[in-house]
Amino acid sequence: MGKREPSPGHDLIVIGASSGGIEALIALLGWLPADLAAALCIVVHTSPEAPGLLPAVLGRRTPLPVSQAIDGERLQAGHIYVARPDHHLLVESGRIRVTRGPRENRHRPAVDPLFRSAALTYGPRTIGVVLSGALDDGTAGLAAIKNQGGIAIVQDPEEALFPGMPASAQRHVPVDYALPAAAIGPLLARLAREPASQPERAPAEALIIEERYAREEGAAMDDLTEIGMPTALTCPECHGPLWEVGDRSILRFRCRTGHAFTAESVMAGQSVALEDALWMAVNTLQESALVAEERGGAPPRACGRALHRESARVAAAGPGDPHGDRGRKGGCGARRGNEHHRQFVRRRCARRMATGTHRPRHHA
């Protein structure tokens, strides 16, 4: 019987972080040796307009070369690749992919696309690490790595400046290690030299379909129906219908355009959309009041107080005001008042808001 070939080591490390993640990365990278036996890819949530200085910042803290990822570049052991602002970072066999696929969890770059691509391509040879950050990007991707036989690591949530991401991953994924950031560096150096103990696994069809979106290949509506169920919710990004996808342990959604969300990121997106709509309503009231003043005319005072309460409730409602859109019971409201009444209310609201004397009443 011939000698068995040794199993390949864990030659790909993928790291995801958000708020507080740069501090954790600095602590982690300082412990990596110059002869690290794995390529390392990093996604940190950044603004689309960010100048892309993160490689220079991290490069001062590690003996390894650090560069911004370039599409088509070959993956090399002992090299650190950082996602570009407003671009997803993906991996395929031996190469980097940089795309502008749909945002996931309201971010681009996002952690989940990188982790999914690593799980799909490198399987049990992958090590996934989730560091400090808010909400839960990276949880679904780390689950994919674990399902494909890879190793799952999180920063100890008690140490993380923002524990949301590592705590969510620890809650939903059977992680192998939960450690302070400085302790993760030596662990990665050791694991990179150890052979992958898990056998290759056939990837789930859902993993393949979802990966197409990040690669800008798209997917048919039939594919979404195959891996998920349509819901009554709409996408906070494009307002298209959402499908519930993934397993039941992690509630996730995806629209046919490709935007993907966890339940928490859907709620965060809807909160932003609600606040935008409310400010637009306030602006419309103020502009209408100015136009009405230019036109002149003294509206009758009858029904004025009721109309004022109605308009003030709409103008003052915010994400934390549960009664902003409730309690409308007709009477002398806008549906029955004439145009003079509405003009009077708008002028009065605008004046009080401008002078800081506007105090809307809340009704249960």
Per-residue pLDDT reduced to its tens digit, 147-203: 999 999 999 999 999 999 999 999 999 999 999 999 999 999 999 999 988 778 888
What is the reported pLDDT for 302? 40
Q: Is 93 marked active-site?
A: no
Q: What is the pTM of this model?
A: 0.77
Helices (H), 150-220: 164-172, 181-193, 205-214
- How many domains, in total, are found in the chain? 3
Q: How far is CA 65 from CA 54, 59, 335, in A?
A: 13, 7, 67
What average pLDDT score do residues 270-285 get? 86
What average pLDDT score do residues 87-106 get? 96
- Do 107 and 45 form a contact (C-beta atoms < 8 A)? yes
CA distance 355 to 206: 56
Catalytic residue of the set 11, 136, 137, 223: 137
pLDDT digits (tens, 9 = 90+) for 299-338: 444 444 444 555 556 555 554 444 444 444 444 444 444 5
Look at residue 336 and tell me if it is in a domain.
yes
Look at residue 201 and tell me if it is in a domain.
no
What is the reported pLDDT for 301? 45
Q: Is 18 marked active-site?
A: yes
Higher pLDDT, 102 or 289: 102
Q: Could you tell me the two tokens for 119? A: 């799980």
Q: Say yes or no to pLDDT of 274 above 80.
A: yes
**Same domain flag for 25 and 144:** yes
What is the reported pLDDT for 329? 41
Lowest mean pLDDT among 58-67, 73-82, 96-105, 354-363: 354-363
Look at residue 4 and tell me if it is in a domain.
no
Look at residue 128 and tell me if it is in a domain.
yes
What is the reported pLDDT for 226? 85
Catalytic residue of the set 10, 11, 45, 107: 45
Listed residues 193, 208, 224: the one ending a domain: 193
What is the reported pLDDT for 335? 41
* Of the candidates 253, 182, 200, 256, the residue with the CA atom closest to the CA atom of residue 23: 182
pLDDT digits (tens, 9 = 90+) for 215-266: 988 777 788 888 889 999 999 999 899 999 987 678 999 999 999 999 999 8
**Same domain flag for 152 and 278:** no
**Same domain flag for 257 and 275:** no
C-alpha neighbours within 13 Å on the C-beta side of residue 205: 8
* Of the candidates 10, 34, 5, the residue with the CA atom closest to the CA atom of residue 190: 10
pLDDT digits (tens, 9 = 90+) for 139-148: 999 999 999 9
DSSP conformation class of 176: S
Catalytic residue of the set 18, 132, 168, 288: 18
Q: Which amino acid is at 208?
A: I
Average pLDDT, the chain: 84
Q: Is 45 marked active-site?
A: yes
Region of residue 211 (left: phi > 0; alpha: psi -120 to 50; beta: else): alpha
What is the reported pLDDT for 347? 63
**Same domain flag for 223 and 290:** no
Look at residue 202 and tell me if it is in a domain.
no
Higher pLDDT, 245 or 293: 245
Read out DSSP for 314-329?
Answer: HHH--TT-TTTT----
Domain extent at residue 149: 12-193
Q: Say yes or no to pLDDT of 115 above 50.
A: yes
What number of other Cβ atoms are within 10 A of residue 271's Cβ?
14
* Of the candidates 295, 313, 239, 229, the residue with the CA atom closest to the CA atom of residue 270: 239
